[in-house]
Amino acid sequence: MDRATPIYILSGFLGSGKTTLLQRLITEWKREGLRPAVIMNEIGEVNLDGLMIGPEIPMAEMLGGCICCTIRSDLSTQLYELIQEEKPDVVVIEATGAANPMEIFDAVSESSLLLKLDIRPMITVVDAAHLAALYEAQQGKTYRLMIEQIRCGSWLILNKIDLVTAEQLSGLLDLLQRLNPYAKIVTAERCQVDIEPLLSKNSTDSGSNEEWLMSEHDHHHDHDQPHHQHKHHAEHSDGHAAHHSHEHVTVYTHYFAGPVNSVDFEKFIKELPREVYRGKGVLHFSDTASRFMFQYAYREADYLKITPQGNIPDVAVFIGEHFDKTALAAELERLERQAGE
């Protein structure tokens, strides 16, 4: 193969807007007559984001783990097969929102031993409202992970600005600038950004992220550790070390035994514990004719009528930090029983 395949990595916290951006990128590439392919990584067992992407787009799904650690070695294989079989003009990797961006860079770089890849500067989508809230508290693993994702982006898309005040927005822009003076920062609502500069080869002045990551961060791997215990350490420029692992991430996948009432379900979503950051799913309601996809990200919920292609079960995935899975399961089962009565 003589041509290097451009690889874009989309990073950003759970529910920040990565799939929304991915849809825009795909539309742009199609307009240009290019053939994109996608690698989607989900920490849950089902890929619901894939439903938002047309069936004509070649897609490799990496489910049930994170490419930055537990299923990292699969990435080279998936990338290799996708490029060999589909011969795409460009590949996008959408990481799970819980991924450590430097680890993904490493994993993709490993693949370039097998393939001729042109790894483009990382794009990080930042949820404005969620960052504003976490910045006030300034603690927790989520906050540290979000900061790390911000530090690793060559492009920072400060998304969901419709959910913050003008004053908060100006504070967030200052914060991003301070955290990552190398990045280009754009603000957006539903990731509506000028796509062309984002994709252009020389889009950043700072050179490749890899270069500055290696110089700014002291990045260690302990290869003697088994994969599931793999911890990531990155030395921050402000001196303290961030320890990254997914042990704090809780995932609950619920397969519905039957439809539930839409009003009760909306109430359940509204009352989700704070520790649940992200929810998504496809389900039948007992009081409506069509099927719905729901999205929940940082206290905001969306419902969309959907007719999924293929055999998609009624399912909901919840991702967060140390929440009580059994309590969620019991409540959803109660809704199922109630709708069946």
Ligand X SMILES: Nc1nc2c(ncn2[C@@H]2O[C@H](COP(=O)(O)OP(=O)(O)OP(=O)(O)O)[C@@H](O)[C@H]2O)c(=O)[nH]1
159 near ligand X, judged by CB under 6 A: yes
Residue span binding ligand X (CB under 6 A) among the ranges 147-155, 253-261, 293-301, 330-338 = 293-301
Contact present, 39 and 78 (Cβ < 8 Å): yes
DSSP structural state of residue 179? H
Choosing from 5, 149, 250, 295, the residue that interacts with ligand X (CB under 6 A) is 295
Give the DSSP letter string of 33-62: T--EEEEEE-SSSS-SGGGGS-TTS-EEEE
- Does 49 interact with ligand X (rule: CB under 6 A)? yes
- Residue 314 gets the label, from left (phi > 0), alpha (psi -120 to 50) or beta, of beta
Q: Which of residues 186-205 bind ligand X (CB under 6 A)?
A: 189-191
Smallest distance, ligand X to C-beta of residue 261, A: 21
Please, which of residues 223-282 interact with ligand X by CB under 6 A?
278
Pick 82 or 129: Cβ nearer ligand X:
129
Residue 302 interacts with ligand X (CB under 6 A)? yes
Beta-strand relationship, 123-127 and 5-12: parallel
Nearer to ligand X, 16 or 78 (CB): 16
Which CB atom, from 78 or from 217, has the smaller least distance to ligand X? Answer: 78
- Residue closer to ligand X (CB basis): 60 or 297: 297
Give the separation between CA 27 and CA 7, rounded to whole angstroms. Answer: 17
β-bridge pairing 241-244 and 232-235: antiparallel
Quote the least distance from Cβ 47 to ligand X, whole Å: 10
Helices 101-111 + 141-152 axis angle, to 10: 50
CB of 161 to ligand X, least distance (A): 7
Q: Give min distance, CB of 130 to ligand X, in A.
A: 10
Tokens (6 digits) for 232: 């990531």
Minimum gap (Å) between residue 235 Cβ and ligand X:
26
Residue with token string 């290097």 = 4
Classify residue 79 as exposed, middle or buried by CB count within 10 Å of its CB (0-12, 13-18, 19+): buried
- As measured in angstroms, the least distance from the Cβ of 74 to ligand X is 18
- Cβ-based nearer residue to ligand X, 99 or 339: 99
Q: At closest approach, how far in Å is the CB of 33 from ligand X?
A: 25
- The CB-side HSE value for 308 (13 A sphere, CA atoms) comes to 21
Nearer to ligand X, 162 or 324 (CB): 162
163 binds ligand X (CB under 6 A): yes
| Min separation Cβ 337 and ligand X, Å | 28
For residue 278, the cross-strand partners are 297, 319
* Chain position carrying tokens 């959907």: 306
The answer to whether 160 contacts ligand X (rule: CB under 6 A) is yes
Does 300 sit near ligand X (CB under 6 A)?
yes
Q: What does the per-residue mask of binding to ligand X show for 77-106, with x meaning CB under 6 A?
A: --------------------x---------
Judging by DSSP bridges, how do beta strands 291-297 and 300-306 pair with one another? antiparallel
Q: Residue 15 and residue 125: Cα distance in Å, rounded?
A: 9
**Terminal Cα-to-Cα distance of the chain (whole angstroms):** 61
Helices 209-216, 101-111: axis angle to 10 degrees equals 120
Minimum distance from residue 1 beta carbon to ligand X (Å) = 30
Distance CA 117, CA 132 (A): 36
- What does the per-residue mask of binding to ligand X show for 6-25, with x meaning CB under 6 A? ------x-xxxxxxx-----
Size of the site for ligand X (CB under 6 A): 22
Binding residues for ligand X (CB under 6 A): 12, 14-20, 49, 97, 159-160, 162-163, 189-191, 278, 295, 297, 300, 302
